[in-house]
């Protein structure tokens, strides 16, 4: 599908709505309280971060099971209030447990924090998926930089100031998500009815392999490059932001999809050479690639959600659940140490497992030319800027035609699917309605817009 566009670039594509940066405040909260804690939160049986991750994964698995019934999440105000309540309760319990050394209370704080952050993340990604691909890249990367900056700021605060900041951060994050949903035009908001689809399992499998490999090396990484590293996140996210801002007219999303994977492979291949090069090079490459991979996966799945009409939380929940594999990698690494192996033997065993994972990752990487070859919607082959201009121009034109012609909400929905060159049979299947019903709606659309054929509709919308 090609949309006719003016030759002059649109600088508005690079605008970043502040409301969509809420995840930056939430990530700073996680970094200060659990990832790189500035207060010692006690726990029971496992570290506070592992307890946080366990709850995070548990809610992600629940979202995978129930997501189709709950979407759109933005249509349930109680979910946003619940996310905020969980994070605020987590903050209060964590600060109280740290002061009194109450491990059960600290464990409860970690569990509530993981659940609240996952719920917030799903709400945030549902809102962000309504933006064009370029804006999604800019928003996520800018938000990650913002989160790192706020985490740096919090590290130097006095206890009372820190307590206030830890209460304000989740409140601002949730307020941003509410504002983001209010800013989305009604016609572009996620709907309860969405098309049938198949999960992009190869993407999830790839992320699972990386997560396990990352977990396997996580505890052995040099300081500043390991678990929840703010330094690496800021550097990588800043590089992504600058690349998207200055080179969006030259870079295609589908063509850069292998970049984080190659970083990860290089990082793992350097593990055996760390006795010569030191641990830092390998650690930073692995950590940087993991951050890149996570950002890329979010952008890719948001782009798929926008193009297909499938709610983003349904697509992204399995990505969040992949954190379970990171925990498994940490457990395997700890298990090797518990066997009483020497440091050399443990490193060798870890290197063998990593070599197998690198081989599997490489196989997935090279098995197909395109990641989206077997999915519902193909990614745009054009530059990131060009693809985003098409997305926004088409959405704007559909909204104009719908408003001018007085189309009903269902007719507007079908108009947008027709603009994507879907057949009537496909639309009927996607919307779970009879093909005859689709034909009736299409006839009404033609009557209201004063056209008679699909060709005239494409001309009206500016679609080649």
- Dihedral in degrees, nearest 10, Cα atoms 450, 452, 457, 460: -40
Question: Given 366, 395, 415, which residue is the final one in a domain?
Answer: 366
Question: Given 331, 366, 401, which residue is the final one in a domain?
Answer: 366
Q: 1 pLDDT band (50/70/90 cuts)?
A: very low
Residue 214 lies in a domain: yes
- 361 and 456 co-located in one domain: no
Residue 262 lies in a domain: yes
Alpha carbon distance 43, 35 (integer Å): 14
Q: How do residues 217-249 score in pLDDT, each as one tens digit?
A: 777 776 666 655 678 888 888 988 988 888 877
Helix, strand, coil distribution of the chain in percent, nearest 5: 75, 0, 25
Q: For residue 83, is the peptide bond before it cis, meaning its omega torsion is within 30 degrees of 0?
A: no
Instruction: Give the pLDDT of residue 5.
Output: 37
Residue 374 lies in a domain: no
The domain in which residue 405 lies consists of: 384-461
User: How high does pLDDT run on average in the chain?
Assistant: 80
Instruction: Name which of 99, 92, 111, 100 is nearest 46 in CA terms.
Output: 111
Total length of the chain: 464
The tally of domains found in the chain comes to 2
Q: How do residues 381-429 score in pLDDT, each as one tens digit?
A: 567 777 777 777 777 788 888 888 888 878 887 887 788 777 888 778 7
Instruction: Give the pLDDT of residue 353.
Output: 77
Instruction: Give the pLDDT of residue 11.
Output: 58
- 362 and 446 co-located in one domain: no
Q: How do residues 300-310 score in pLDDT, each as one tens digit?
A: 888 888 777 78
272: CATH: 1.20.1250.20
Give the phi and the psi of residue 17 in degrees, each rounded to 5: -65, 125
194 vs 30, residue with greater confidence: 30
237 vs 4, residue with greater confidence: 237
30: which 2 tokens? 């996680």
Pair 228, 49: CB distance under 8 Å: yes
- 302 and 416 co-located in one domain: no
Range in 93-107, 196-210, 259-273, 388-402 with the lowest mean pLDDT: 259-273
Instruction: Give the pLDDT of residue 267.
Output: 59
- 410 and 353 co-located in one domain: no
Contacts of 205 (CB under 8 A, 6+ apart): 364
160 vs 255, residue with greater confidence: 160
Q: If you average pLDDT over residues 102-124, what whole number do you get?
A: 93
Q: 52 pLDDT band (50/70/90 cuts)?
A: very high
Instruction: Give the pLDDT of residue 223.
Output: 63
Instruction: Give the pLDDT of residue 7.
Output: 39
Instruction: Name which of 194, 100, 118, 140 is nearest 431 in CA terms.
Output: 194
Alpha carbon distance 280, 390 (integer Å): 42
Pair 127, 188: CB distance under 8 Å: no
Residue 327 lies in a domain: yes
Contacts of 246 (CB under 8 A, 6+ apart): none
Residue 228 lies in a domain: yes
Alpha carbon distance 122, 75 (integer Å): 13
- Highest mean pLDDT, choosing among 55-59, 332-336, 444-448: 55-59
Pair 27, 140: CB distance under 8 Å: no
Is the predicted pLDDT of residue 119 greater than 50, yes or no? Answer: yes
340 vs 176, residue with greater confidence: 176
315-343 burial code (b ≥16 CB/10 A, e <16)? bbbbbbbbbbbbbebbebbeebeeeeeee
Alpha carbon distance 69, 78 (integer Å): 15
CA–CA–CA angle 89, 230, 277 (5° rounding): 145
Instruction: Give the pLDDT of residue 228.
Output: 57
Stated as kind and residue range, the H or E segment containing 216 is: helix 201-218
- The radius of gyration computed from the CA coordinates of the chain, to the nearest angstrom, equals 23
Q: What percent of the chain has pLDDT over 70?
A: 79
Range in 276-290, 393-407, 429-443 with the lowest mean pLDDT: 276-290
432: CATH: 1.10.10.10
- 292 and 414 co-located in one domain: no
Q: 274 pLDDT band (50/70/90 cuts)?
A: low
- 79 and 206 co-located in one domain: yes
Q: 270 pLDDT band (50/70/90 cuts)?
A: low
Pair 69, 193: CB distance under 8 Å: no
Alpha carbon distance 273, 282 (integer Å): 9
Instruction: Give the pLDDT of residue 8.
Output: 43
Is the predicted pLDDT of residue 13 greater than 70, yes or no? Answer: no
Give the phi and the psi of residue 264 in degrees, each rounded to 5: -65, -45
Contacts of 54 (CB under 8 A, 6+ apart): 46, 111, 114, 327
Residue 376 lies in a domain: no
DSSP 8-state secondary structure symbol assigned to residue 222: P
Is the predicted pLDDT of residue 27 greater than 90, yes or no? Answer: yes
- For the entire predicted model, the pTM comes to 0.81
- Highest mean pLDDT, choosing among 137-151, 178-192, 268-282, 354-368: 137-151
DSSP 8-state secondary structure symbol assigned to residue 187: G
């Amino acid at each position: 599908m090609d949309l006719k566009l003016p030759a002059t670039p649109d600088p508005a594509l690079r605008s970043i709505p502040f409301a969509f940066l809420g995840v930056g405040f939430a990530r700073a909260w996680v970094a200060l309280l659990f990832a790189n804690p500035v207060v010692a939160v006690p726990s029971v049986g496992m570290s506070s971060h592992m307890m946080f991750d366990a709850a995070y994964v548990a809610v992600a698995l629940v979202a995978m099971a129930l997501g189709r019934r709950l979407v759109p999440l933005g249509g349930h105000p109680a979910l946003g209030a619940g996310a905020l309540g969980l994070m605020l309760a987590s903050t209060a319990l964590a600060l109280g447990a740290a002061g009194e050394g109450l491990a059960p209370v600290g464990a409860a704080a970690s569990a509530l924090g993981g659940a609240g952050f996952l719920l917030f993340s799903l709400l945030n990604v549902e809102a962000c998926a309504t933006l064009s691909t370029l804006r999604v890249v800019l928003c996520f990367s800018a938000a990650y930089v913002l989160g790192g900056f706020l985490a740096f700021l919090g590290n130097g605060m006095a206890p009372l100031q820190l307590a206030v900041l830890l209460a304000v951060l989740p409140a601002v994050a949730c307020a941003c998500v509410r504002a983001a949903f209010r800013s989305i035009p009604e016609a572009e908001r996620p709907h309860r009815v969405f098309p049938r689809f198949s999960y992009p399992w190869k993407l999830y499998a790839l992320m699972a392999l990386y997560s396990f490999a990352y977990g396997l090396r996580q505890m052995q990484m040099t300081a500043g490059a390991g678990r929840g590293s703010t330094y690496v996140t800021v550097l990588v996210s800043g590089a992504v932001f600058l690349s998207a801002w200055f080179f969006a007219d030259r870079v295609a999303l589908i063509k850069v999809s292998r970049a984080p994977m190659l970083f990860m492979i290089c990082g793992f291949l350097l593990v055996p050479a760390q006795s010569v090069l030191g641990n830092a090079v390998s650690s930073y490459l692995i950590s940087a690639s993991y951050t890149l991979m996570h950002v890329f996966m979010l952008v890719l799945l948001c782009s798929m959600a926008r193009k297909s009409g499938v709610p983003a939380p349904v697509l992204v929940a399995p990505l969040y659940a992949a954190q379970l594999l990171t925990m498994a990698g940490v457990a395997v690494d700890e298990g090797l140490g518990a066997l009483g192996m020497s440091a050399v033997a443990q490193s060798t065993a870890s290197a063998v497992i990593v070599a197998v994972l690198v081989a599997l990752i490489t196989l997935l990487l090279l098995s197909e030319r395109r990641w989206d070859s077997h999915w519902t919607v193909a990614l745009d082959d054009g530059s990131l800027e060009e693809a985003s201009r098409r997305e926004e121009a088409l959405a704007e034109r559909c909204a104009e035609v719908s408003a001018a012609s007085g189309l009903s909400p269902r007719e507007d929905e079908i108009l947008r699917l027709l603009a994507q060159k879907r057949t009537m049979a496909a639309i009927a299947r996607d919307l779970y309605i009879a093909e005859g019903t689709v034909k009736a709606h299409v006839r009404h659309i033609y009557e209201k817009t004063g056209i008679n054929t699909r060709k005239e509709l494409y001309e009206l919308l500016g679609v080649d």
